Amino acid sequence: MAKQAKTQTPVGKTASKAGKKTGSSASLAKLAAPVALATAAKVASTAPAKRLPVTVSDSGPEAQLAKIFKEIEGNRLGNALQLTESLLQQHPNYRLAHLIRGDLLLARTQPIQTFGALNGAPADKVADLRAEAVVRLKGYREKPEANFVPRYLLQMQADQRYAIVVDTKRSRLYLYENDVANGGRPRFVADYYITQGKLGAEKLVEGDKKTPVGVYHVTANLPRQKLADLYGSGAFPINYPNEWDKQQGRKGSGIWLHGTPSDTFARPPRASDGCVVLTNQDLDAVAKNLQVGLTPVIISNSVEWLSLDDWARERNDLNKTIDAWRADWESRDTDRYLRHYSKRFKSAEQNFDQFAAQKKQVNAGKEWIKVKLDNLSVFRNPGKEEVVVVTFDQDYRSNNLNNQMKKRQYWLREDGKWKIIYEGSA
């Protein structure tokens, strides 16, 4: 049996170290604004604050928000207000920044006991903005470590230049490059704040307001001109429901990566009908790297991370398993070949018994078989069962039939062994 890789959570480990150094991570994670503002209001000076250098990250406001809350924690409300106003100059429709500005202005005249105290802001709206601040700051501090990669990206095809991994728990989208020169190792490029479904992840039926979990790919590029304003600067549909979703009885459609309305900079972490939503500037940045029909989009409840050694070991073990299936097909030993298939196997038209009977009949007329696999991709599915999605170009040759096709298989681990549970054209 192959050695089982130990999954890690290196981003959380990084955050813990930072907290020990500064003592501020825990308070920031709880959004320190209420306590910091209330305390600072007692000592705030009316003198103008010293002008601070302002830099707003092109990839989002996280760095600026971190500076703002650091100033609040240090009771430097004038500096915090200055940074907030600069952020609003950059993003005039940013509701979280407007809320922080309101609290900072109110703190000049009275103690602030709650975040979003200005003008009796609606509790649900304040809760949404608080949740956004927490996940943005968490994402800013907890970057993936260089020697860890998402477990799902085991092997990309050479022409798949980038892959997307979404962590719904962290409201984060990670962009990885296929480092072909380095053996196809996934290389971290950037990460972005995202909005998911109103009711979270693991979509099951049409209209359940949830984001699906699984291995998908981009199927189209819909430009702004063809879309309602709700979808922002563009949209990229994905292939939900995929073959595995359909086998599991999952329903629904219309799951896209898309932007935000023109009057909104960002939406709360849970606000869509199931789509993955980015700010328009982030969608535009990600869009440059998307390939219709190629770019994988893997959506997880909580990303599992592997060390590079464990990643290479898991990838190699699966490649050996796939090659053993190919070799056993060439052997024309039907029983040996069928051992690679689960008794739960289903294709679009056959169950296991029907598939086995057909293979025995076909192999009876074969004198030789040669099978070549190219452009192989292997992605681990983030669902509850251990499943990998394998896609390749298949060149099949025999004494009485030659054909080429793009094939997709779903392999399920049963009793410690990988078995094919679905197979069909891709």
3-state secondary structure the chain: CCCCCCCECHHHHHHHHHHHHHCCHHHHHCCCHHHHHHHHHHHCCCCCCCCCCCCCCCCCCHHHHHHHHHHHHCCCHHHHHHHHHHHHHHCCCCHHHHHHHHHHHHCCCCCCCCCCCHHHCCHHHHHHHHHHHHHHHHHHHCCCCCCEEECCEEECCCCCCEEEEEECCCCEEEEEEEEHHHCCEEEEEEEEECEEECCCECCCCCCCCCECCEEEEECCCEEHHHCCHHHCCEEEEECCCCHHHHHCCCCCCCCEEECCCCCCCCCCCEEECCCEECCHHHHHHHHCCCCCCCCEEEEECCCCEEEHHHHHHHHHHHHHHHHHHHHHHHHCCHHHHHCCECCCCECCCCEHHHHHHHHHHHHCCCCCEEEEEEEEEEEECCCCCCEEEEEEEEEEEECCCEEEEEEEEEEEEECCEEEEEEEEEC
Establish if 52 belongs to a structural domain.
yes
Residue 143's pLDDT is: 87
Same domain, 156 and 251: yes
Same domain, 275 and 318: no
Same domain, 390 and 245: no
Same domain, 299 and 312: no
Establish if 329 belongs to a structural domain.
yes
Residue 422's pLDDT is: 98
Global pTM reads 0.86
Same domain, 119 and 188: no
Same domain, 216 and 187: yes
Same domain, 88 and 188: no
Count structural domains, the chain.
Answer: 3
Establish if 245 belongs to a structural domain.
yes
Residue 120's pLDDT is: 64
Question: Catalytic one among 91, 98, 217, 258?
Answer: 258
Same domain, 250 and 165: yes
Establish if 3 belongs to a structural domain.
no
Establish if 24 belongs to a structural domain.
yes
Same domain, 255 and 339: no
Range of the domain at 242: 148-303
Whether 340 is a known active-site residue: answer no
Whether 275 is a known active-site residue: answer yes
Q: Which of 141, 169, 204 is the last residue of a domain?
A: 141
Instruction: Going residue by residue through the chain, which has 426 residues, state the pLDDT in tens, using 9 for 90 and above.
Output: 444 555 665 665 443 333 333 333 333 334 544 444 544 444 443 344 444 444 344 468 999 999 999 999 898 999 999 999 999 999 999 999 999 999 999 888 887 777 776 666 788 889 999 999 999 999 998 888 889 999 999 999 999 999 999 999 999 999 999 999 999 999 999 999 999 999 999 999 999 999 999 999 999 999 999 999 999 999 999 999 999 999 999 999 999 999 999 999 999 999 999 999 999 999 999 999 999 999 999 999 999 999 999 999 999 999 999 999 999 999 999 999 999 999 999 998 999 999 999 999 999 999 999 999 999 999 999 988 999 999 999 999 999 999 999 999 999 999 999 999 999 999
Question: Catalytic one among 91, 98, 275, 340?
Answer: 275
Residue 405's pLDDT is: 98
Same domain, 327 and 298: no
Same domain, 27 and 95: yes
Q: Which of 95, 122, 141 is the last residue of a domain?
A: 141
Same domain, 409 and 373: yes
